[in-house]
Structure formats: structure tokens, C-alpha cells
């Protein structure tokens, strides 16, 4: 070691048990309420800060009570006010120019300031105020927010950074350091906890970014890697100075083939313009981690854990574990739930160069699903990893952050006790990790009781009534190709034209109308038993009637009932299908303050009685216009539920499909001529590993077709897909064989349309012409411009006019104004055809 390398802090071993992150919304959604009241102006920024601080301290202390070590960085510090990717944007001060009108560039803090020496500042060097932070998240009167999109294959959404050649990037905000210090040295006099800050890693951050408006053609945000890494170095120095022994950098981009940059250079290819050394993911990782771990005189850094959740690192298409093992980071977290689990007995050594100096954090407890683990087989696996990996040591962790599961099974008053015993939410998972670590270190007898209890729960689950229902199995076994096939499209189109006689460029909506506080309050009262079934039903009927009247008044062509009876498009169906159960407090963050309660799909699925028919027929009775029935499709129901892990997803999907197929038949029988089957999550479940994609697309498309193929030719089947990144699945969209497909397209300015056209898609298409993700009302001109783009690319006879998605998160004022502009634009463009 030379003189100028100063590894000052003691190199504490990685803790034996940890979790990669923990829910941050709060057991009673305290953060949601604090945020929404702050946005509404009824509380102040100080109130918000106080509530969120209490939530953070309660969280880290609970994790200690659950058995994580308080002194070694075992407790993750994974809080965020809104989103962890936005937090990096704020840390870097990487505010796009469109949010800094006329603002002078502030000089970068020179080296040798307090920040350079790592002392954490009493006053934050905050160049990103709370106001700017939320402007980026939610938009302003002048600017739409950063784009919201899916976090890998989860139902969590992050805010896409906009990075150009001149976007400011520096260590601009030390909130992460302050939150470490707040737990380590709490001002309320409570127990101090030495946490492990959890931060999105620099490579993933840039790979998830998009070029800022005005960036030169072909600019890749990855070109700013050196600037980003320089800022992370300062952040790490500040964390070390504050006493952090470990930091966790999340690099899930490492496991994704959907990330827009190749993992390795294709042999023989030459590098494009720009820096040749950062054009691939593997080069970016090498470069970033070499710089982050390079010693620098007078400063220290915490030891680094790199986590790569959501998939397998050891791929045929490139060994990402070897890549990480070749860097100087101290620890690597593997997802051993999604990743292929190595056989537990008699396996050969891994032989990964560099691993001998690393700690492997074995993610053996599922952070993304809620089944109680088979602790015995997990312990077998851990022991085999100790023998075979050749790592310096193996410790126990979760496969992903626990952000994706609810807080606590014990907080579910209405769960059947037997079923509750099959489950592990975040708190139970912490317990599982702690148990496994004890078994691994102190020996099996120490934890035999817990292992046996876990085994008994799994055995009980396998044999429980409802898990296997012979009639459901028989129906599935009897399916033939005919059950997946409709009449040819040309025949269907002719029959539907006659039946529906719609104008060209028909106007419609995606299904939901605003979910007002009044409706939610009424539903809450009904759920509590304070409102009778009859009163609640009357209230919903009144809402349906007013939604139908509004659509008539606006002049829409195909009407909907507005979905006021649905708490959520998945939970509502789950509550009415056998094989599912739902929770009371099982909230999981979807984005910002918005949450969902994913249902639990535990048994064979069937439909005891019609679900949507009364609402659809009531709406139809109020109008002469066609009313579109509205169902959520099987893939989306699976994607947004916690799904049984004891049979292939394809079988589970087909069970749900058969239940929905009965609903389509009943809607048809009740005279409903158009049925929409939403597959909002079709793209979300697309595997990150390219090798697994064809099989997924095959079963997902088949389950949709099984849902819809019982429909007569004259019944028009619609589907709706969210999220604009459809490039990877245009073939599958075509294979769904829907008569009309509506897709999100407004924000990407109809980007999808030429792709569909060139893929030969020749059925109805409704590219969204109103971005419903913010309260902004699009002008008639904007809408007709988008519409003209669409009719220029595809046969105008195929084009439908609709918003990007449902209107449940919008208010009535915006909805009325925007739909009026949409109808006017459709009429204008119709006139020009």
C-alpha cells in the first residue's frame, strides 16, 4: 500500500443478515397522507419533513427490533419522499433546462469546501428545493413532469432522468448523508442505528435516463458517466466522513436486456461516435467501479455492496457476476429467486476470478412475492453456496428490495388464519433472513423449530381445499386450438360495421372516469358497514348515470360506464373470483403517493357469478350509443397480484382467462356489442432476459386469446395497453388478434404508430391523443396534430380517437375540457379525410 492510500475506517465485515430495502409508504400510508396534504397546501414543508423523519426513524428501529444488527450497516436506509431515481437526480442537481428557465448556472463547489472534506453540512447544499423536487415529479403549469415508467418488471414506476451534454451534474444535495446521520445520531434521543444507505448505482441511473430535449442526435446519457461518477465519489466521501461502513449501489440494469445498450460489444463491431469505452454496459461498469473504488489522498469511502436484483447474473450471453467480481467493490448481492439457483448437492466450484475477495449477499428470500419460504431448502442452498462459490464469505439477504411487498401479515385482521400462515410480508421476511443467518452460523439445531414450522406451512398449503379444484383442471385440460381462435378479421370487421355503424375516427375513452373523493368515501363507508348494499349501489348507479350523460353531452361515439364501482381494476375482479384473497392494509407503492393492494392468487380460479354485467347493462339502458363492456385481462391480473408459485404461470393465466371468458359470454348475452379486455401490464411482464421472452409472449398472448375467442364475429373486442415502449412486442400485439387496440402514444408523439404500420398491423388502432398523466388540458390543436400524424401513417379507416389511459386519477374539470377538445379535434380531422 502506498502512502497516499488511506483506508481509514475499520473494514467491518458485511452483516450476516440484511434486506435490500424496505417499504417506505408506512404501515398506515403515513407518507401518502403527508405528501397529499402538503401538495393540497393544507400542511407545510416542515410538516412533511417532520412526518417523514418520524417514519424513517420508526422504520429503522423496527428493523432492529426484527433482528437486524443496529451497528454494522445491516439496516438499509432506503427511504424516498417520492422515488429513488428522482433522488439521484436531486443528489446530482441534474435538473433539466426546461425546469430552470433563465436560471444562472451555479458554480460547482470547489474542492476543499466543507463538502470536499466530507463534513456534513448543517444547511444542506440544496440546489434542488422541495419545490423543484416535486415540480420534476408532478409537473408545473408550464412544464409536464419527468416521464414516469416501469421499474424493471415490477409495478413500481420511476421518474426518467433527462440528461444532455450540458445538464448540470455535481454533488449538489446531501439528503442521503443527512438521512444516514439522522439515524446514527437521532435528535429524539432514541436508539442510534448505523444504517446502510441504498442508492441507485451510476450505471443503472444513466441507462435509465433519456437524452434531454435538444441533445444532439444519437447522444447517449452514458457519455456523462465520468461526471456522474465524480459526484458519487464526493457523496461516498461524505458518507464515510459521517461514519457509514457500507453503502449499497443498486445496479439492476445489469440483468436487463431491455435497457437499450448492449451488454458486450459484438465481436468485430467498431465503436460508434463518442467515447468508445462507455458504449456497452460492461465497459461502463468497469469504468465506473474502477473510478469509485480508486483511492484518493485524504478521503475515505464506505465499503460498497453492488446489488443486481431481478435476474440471473451468470448468463450465457455474458457473465455479469464475473464482471462485478473483477472490480474492487467489497460485496455483491445476487437474486437467487429469479436467478437460476445452483443445484444444492455435489456441485462444482464456480471458479469466478476475483470472487475470493468478495462477500456474496445471497438473495434467497423473495423480495417480490409473499409466500413464506421453504427455509430448509434455502438453508441447504446457502450451505452449498458456501462450499461452491469460492467467495470470501456468504451472507443472507432478500432477492430484491422489500419495496414490492406490504409491511406486515400480522396487520391483516380479515385474513383466514390458515392462509395467513402461508404468507410472509416485509416484516416476516426480515425474520426469515435473520433465522437463516443464525442457522448458517450457529448450526441447524439452533433454528430447527423455525425450519419445521416453515415446512409445515408449505405442506398445509399444498393440501388445502381450493388449491386444486378438479373441475377447473378438467376444463383446462379439455381446451383445443379452436378455443384460442376467432373467425377471420375481415369477416368480423364486416359484421361489426353492420352492427355498430360508427363514424370514421370514432371517439371513445379507456374506461374509468374520475374516482372522486365522494365515491371513495361512500365505498369506505360501505366496506365499514356504515352504508347498506342498497344505498351504496344507488350511489354508484347515480355515478354511472352522470358519466353516461356527460359522454352524451360531449358527443363521444362509444360510451363506457366509468368504473366507479371499482377500487382498482385488478383488486375488484380478485374480490369476485374464487382462488383469490385480498388484504385490508397490504398497500404497495406504485408511484409517488399512489398505492395498490395486490390481491393474493392462492388457489384454482373460477367465477362464481357475473361481475360486470349489471353495471354495463345499466349504462346501456341509458343511451342509444354503443356501450363498451370493460374487463381486466389475465396477464394484467397476474402481473398486479401476488401469484401462486406452485405451478407454471401459463396454467394460472389460462384459469383466469377461462373465468373472464365466461364474463365475455355473459356480456354478449346481455346485448353488449363491444368488450374491452385491458392488458395494461403485457409489456411489464416481458422477461428482462431476452432468452426467456419468446416463451412468455407465447403464453401471455394465448391467455388473452382464450379470454376473447368465445366472442361472436359481430362482437367487437378491444384491448388497451399502457406504457409506450412497445417496440419489443409489436408482433405480440398483432397476435392478440383484438379488433381494436388502444395504446399510450401522446407523450411519445405517436412513436408507436409507424412501428405498428410497418409490422403489418391492420386492425383498429387507437393511439392515445391526450396524456392523462398530468392535470394539463391539451388544446384542440394539439390533439388534431397528433391525430393527423396517425392518419398519415395508417389507413384512417382503422384509427380510433381516445386518451392514453383511464381517467380515474384525473378531476372532472380537466376531464370535461380535454374530452371536449378531443371530440372537436376528431370532427375537424374527419372533415379533412
Q: Which residues are part of the catalytic machinery?
A: 773
808 binds ligand MET (CB under 6 A): yes
Window 791-810: contact mask with Zn ion (x via CB under 5 A)? --------------x-----
The answer to whether 601 is annotated as binding is no
d(CA 351, CA 204): 27
Residue 678 interacting with ligand MET (CB under 6 A): yes
Distance CA 63, CA 70 (A): 9
Nearer to ligand 39S, 602 or 723 (CB): 723
Which residues 296-355 are close enough to bind ligand MET by CB under 6 A?
none
Please give, one letter per residue, the 3-state secondary structure of 512-541.
ECCCCHHHHHHHHHHHHCCCCHHHHHHHHH
Nearest residue relative to ligand MET (C-beta): 806
Q: Which of 66, 238, 569, 667 binds ligand 39S (CB under 6 A)?
A: 569
Distance in Å, CB of 707 to Zn ion, minimum:
17
Residue 511's binding partner among ligand 39S, ligand MET, Zn ion, none (Cβ under 5 to 8 angstroms by kind) is: ligand MET
CB of 682 to ligand 39S, least distance (A): 12
- Report which of 126, 287, 102, 100 is spatially closest to residue 212, judged by C-alpha positions: 100
Cβ burial of 720 (10 Å; 0-12, 13-18, 19+) is: buried
| The three grid cell numbers given for residue 101, joined into one nine-digit string | 428557465
Q: Under the criterion CB under 6 A, does residue 569 sit at the interface with ligand MET?
A: yes
**Position 574 contacts Zn ion (CB under 5 A):** no
Backbone φ, ψ for residue 826 (5° rounding):
-60, -45
Give the interface segment with ligand 39S, choosing from 553-561, 563-571, 614-622, 810-818 (CB under 6 A). Answer: 563-571
Subset of residues 573 to 632 that bind ligand MET, contact rule: CB under 6 A: 630
Q: With contact defined as beta carbons under 8 Å apart, do 161 and 88 qualify?
A: yes
Pairing of strands 314-315, 318-319: antiparallel
Distance of CA 446 to the CA centre of its chain: 38
Cell of 492: 368480423
**10 Å Cβ neighbour count for 586?**
25
Q: What's the closest the beta carbon of residue 660 comes to ligand 39S, in angstroms?
A: 16
Options 378, 523, 541, 776; binder of ligand 39S; rule CB under 6 A: 523
# residues near ligand MET by CB under 6 A: 12
Q: Which position among 70, 161, 767, 806 is part of the footprint of ligand MET (CB under 6 A)?
A: 806
Q: Which of 68, 433, 510, 706 binds ligand MET (CB under 6 A)?
A: 510
Q: Say which entry of Zn ion, ligand MET, ligand 39S, none residue 72 contacts (CB below 5 to 8 A, set by partner kind).
A: none
Q: Which residues contact 458 (CB under 8 A, 6 or more apart)?
A: 372, 374, 422
Determine, following the binding rule CB under 6 A, whether residue 581 of this chain makes contact with ligand 39S: no
Is position 744 annotated in a ligand binding site? yes
Q: DSSP labels for 424-455?
A: --HHHHHHHHHHHHHHHHH-GGGGHHHHHHHH
With binding defined as CB under 6 A, does residue 567 bind ligand 39S?
yes
Task: Say how far apart CA 184 and CA 193 lie, in whole Å.
Answer: 5
Q: Say how far apart CA 367 and CA 307 lie, in whole Å.
A: 13
Is 429 known as a binding-site position?
Answer: no
Among residues 423, 454, 596, 822, the one that binds ligand 39S under rule CB under 6 A: 596
Region from 57-65, 320-328, 675-683, 748-756 binding Zn ion, contact rule CB under 5 A? 675-683
Among 362, 457, 382, 451, smallest CA distance to 419 is for: 457
DSSP state of 747: T
Q: What is the x/- site pattern for ligand 39S, positions 132-171, by CB under 6 A?
A: -----------------------x----------------
Pairing of strands 578-581, 600-606: antiparallel
With binding defined as CB under 6 A, does residue 511 bind ligand MET? yes
Q: How far is the CB of 177 from ligand 39S (least distance, A)?
A: 30
Residue 492 engages ligand 39S in binding (rule: CB under 6 A): no
Q: Is residue 656 a contact residue for Zn ion (CB under 5 A)?
A: no
* Residue 238: its H or E element: helix 225-241
Tell me the backbone φ, ψ of residue 179, rounded to 5 degrees. Answer: -70, -30
Q: 431 is written with which cell numbers?
A: 425474520
Give whichever of 32 and 98 is closer to ligand 39S, judged by the CB atom.
Answer: 32
- Is position 594 annotated in a ligand binding site? yes
- Separation between Cα atoms, residue 644 and residue 467, nearest integer Å: 9
State the DSSP string of 618-667: HHHHT-SS-BEEEEE-HHHHHHTSEE-SSS-HHHHHHHHHHHHHHHHHHH
The answer to whether 680 contacts ligand MET (rule: CB under 6 A) is yes
- Which of the listed partners (ligand 39S, ligand MET, Zn ion, none) does 590 bind, with a CB threshold of 5 to 8 Å by partner kind? ligand 39S
**What residue numbers does the annotated binding site for L-methionine cover?**
510-512, 563, 678
Q: Which residues bind ligand MET (CB under 6 A)?
A: 510-512, 569, 630, 678, 680, 720, 722, 805-806, 808
Q: Which residues bind Zn ion (CB under 5 A)?
A: 680, 722, 805
Amino acid at each position: 500500500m502506498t502512502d497516499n492510500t488511506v483506508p481509514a475506517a475499520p473494514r467491518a465485515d458485511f452483516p450476516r443478515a440484511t434486506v435490500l430495502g424496505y417499504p417506505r409508504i408506512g404501515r398506515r400510508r403515513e407518507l401518502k397522507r403527508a405528501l397529499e396534504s402538503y401538495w393540497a397546501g393544507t400542511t407545510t414543508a416542515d410538516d412533511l419533513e417532520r412526518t417523514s423523519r418520524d417514519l424513517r426513524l420508526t422504520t429503522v428501529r423496527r428493523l432492529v427490533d426484527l433482528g437486524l444488527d443496529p451497528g454494522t450497516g445491516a439496516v438499509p436506509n432506503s427511504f424516498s419522499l417520492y422515488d429513488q431515481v428522482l433522488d439521484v437526480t436531486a443528489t446530482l442537481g441534474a435538473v433539466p433546462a426546461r425546469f430552470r428557465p433563465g436560471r444562472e448556472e451555479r458554480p460547482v463547489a470547489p474542492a476543499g469546501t466543507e463538502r470536499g472534506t466530507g463534513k456534513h453540512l448543517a444547511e444542506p447544499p440544496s440546489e434542488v428545493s422541495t419545490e423543484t423536487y416535486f415540480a420534476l415529479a408532478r409537473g408545473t403549469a408550464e412544464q409536464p413532469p419527468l416521464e414516469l415508467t416501469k421499474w424493471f418488471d415490477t409495478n413500481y414506476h420511476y421518474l426518467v432522468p433527462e440528461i444532455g451534454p450540458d445538464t448540470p451534474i455535481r454533488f449538489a444535495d446531501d439528503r442521503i448523508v443527512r438521512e444516514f446521520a439522522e439515524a446514527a445520531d437521532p435528535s429524539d434521543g432514541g436508539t442510534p442505528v448505523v444504517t446502510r444507505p441504498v442508492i441507485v448505482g451510476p450505471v443503472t441511473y444513466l441507462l435509465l435516463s433519456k437524452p434531454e430535449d435538444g441533445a444532439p442526435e444519437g447522444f447517449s446519457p452514458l457519455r456523462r458517466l465520468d461526471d456522474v461518477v465524480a459526484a458519487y465519489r464526493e457523496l461516498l466521501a461524505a458518507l464515510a466522513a459521517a461514519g457509514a461502513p457500507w453503502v449499497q449501489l443498486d445496479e439492476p440494469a445489469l440483468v436487463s436486456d431491455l435497457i437499450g445498450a448492449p451488454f458486450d460489444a459484438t465481436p468485430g463491431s467498431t465503436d460508434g461516435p463518442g467515447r468508445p469505452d462507455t458504449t456497452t454496459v460492461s465497459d461502463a461498469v468497469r469504468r465506473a467501479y474502477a473510478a469509485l473504488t480508486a483511492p484518493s489522498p485524504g478521503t475515505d469511502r464506505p465499503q460498497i455492496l453492488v446489488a443486481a436484483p431481478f435476474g440471473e447474473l451468470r448468463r450465457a450471453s455474458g457473465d455479469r457476476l464475473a464482471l462485478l467480481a473483477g472490480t474492487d467493490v467489497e460485496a455483491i448481492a445476487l437474486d437467487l429467486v429469479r436467478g437460476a439457483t445452483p443445484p444444492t448437492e455435489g456441485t462444482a466450484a464456480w471458479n469466478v476470478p476475483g470472487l475470493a475477495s468478495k462477500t456474496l449477499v445471497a438473495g434467497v428470500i423473495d423480495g417480490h412475492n409473499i409466500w413464506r419460504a421453504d427455509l430448509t431448502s434455502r438453508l441447504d442452498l446457502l450451505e452449498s453456496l458456501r462450499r461452491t462459490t469460492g467467495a470470501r464469505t456468504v451472507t443472507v439477504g432478500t432477492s430484491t428490495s422489500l419495496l414490492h411487498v406490504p409491511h406486515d401479515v400480522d396487520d391483516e385482521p380479515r385474513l383466514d388464519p390458515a392462509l395467513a400462515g402461508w404468507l410472509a410480508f416485509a416484516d416476516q421476511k426480515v425474520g426469515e433472513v435473520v433465522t437463516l443467518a443464525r442457522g448458517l452460523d450457529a448450526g441447524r439445531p439452533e433454528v430447527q423449530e423455525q425450519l419445521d414450522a416453515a415446512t409445515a406451512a408449505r405442506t398445509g398449503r399444498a393440501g388445502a381445499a381450493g388449491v386444486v379444484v378438479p373441475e377447473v383442471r378438467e376444463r383446462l385440460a379439455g381446451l383445443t386450438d379452436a378455443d384460442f381462435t376467432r373467425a377471420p378479421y375481415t369477416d368480423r370487421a364486416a359484421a361489426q360495421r353492420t352492427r355498430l355503424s360508427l363514424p370514421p375516427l370514432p371517439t371513445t375513452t379507456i374506461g374509468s372516469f374520475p374516482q372522486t373523493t365522494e365515491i371513495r368515501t361512500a365505498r369506505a363507508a360501505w366496506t365499514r358497514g356504515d352504508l347498506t348494499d342498497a344505498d351504496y349501489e344507488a350511489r354508484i348507479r347515480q355515478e354511472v348515470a352522470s358519466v353516461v350523460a356527460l359522454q352524451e353531452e360531449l358527443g363521444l361515439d362509444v360510451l363506457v360506464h366509468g368504473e366507479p364501482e371499482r377500487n382498482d381494476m385488478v383488486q375488484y375482479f380478485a374480490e369476485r373470483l374464487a382462488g383469490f384473497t385480498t388484504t385490508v392494509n397490504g398497500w404497495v407503492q406504485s408511484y409517488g403517493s399512489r398505492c395498490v393492494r395486490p390481491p393474493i392468487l392462492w388457489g384454482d380460479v373460477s367465477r362464481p357469478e357475473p361481475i360486470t354485467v349489471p353495471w354495463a347493462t345499466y349504462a346501456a339502458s341509458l343511451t342509444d350509443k354503443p356501450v363498451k363492456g370493460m374487463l381486466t385481462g389475465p396477464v394484467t391480473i397476474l402481473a398486479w397480484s401476488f401469484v401462486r408459485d406452485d405451478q407454471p404461470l401459463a396454467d394460472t393465466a389460462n384459469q383466469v382467462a377461462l373465468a373472464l371468458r365466461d364474463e365475455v359470454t355473459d356480456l354478449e348475452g346481455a346485448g353488449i356489442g363491444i368488450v374491452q379486455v385491458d392488458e395494461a401490464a403485457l409489456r411489464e411482464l416481458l422477461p428482462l432476459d431476452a432468452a426467456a421472452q419468446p416463451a412468455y409472449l407465447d403464453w401471455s398472448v394465448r391467455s388473452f386469446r382464450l379470454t376473447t375467442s368465445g366472442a361472436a364475429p359481430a362482437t367487437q373486442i378491444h384491448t388497451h395497453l399502457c406504457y409506450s415502449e412497445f417496440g419489443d412486442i409489436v408482433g405480440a400485439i398483432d397476435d392478440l388478434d383484438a379488433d381494436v387496440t388502444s395504446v399510450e402514444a401522446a407523450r411519445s408523439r405517436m412513436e408507436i404508430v409507424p412501428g405498428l404500420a410497418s409490422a403489418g398491423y391492420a386492425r383498429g388502432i387507437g393511439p392515445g391523443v391526450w396524456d392523462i398523466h398530468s392535470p394539463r388540458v391539451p388544446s384542440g390543436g394539439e390533439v388534431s396534430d397528433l391525430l393527423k400524424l396517425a392518419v398519415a401513417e395508417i389507413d384512417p379507416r382503422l384509427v380510433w380517437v381516445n386518451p392514453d389511459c383511464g381517467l380515474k386519477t384525473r378531476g372532472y374539470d380537466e376531464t370535461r375540457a380535454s374530452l371536449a377538445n378531443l371530440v372537436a379535434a376528431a370532427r375537424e380531422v374527419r372533415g379533412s379525410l
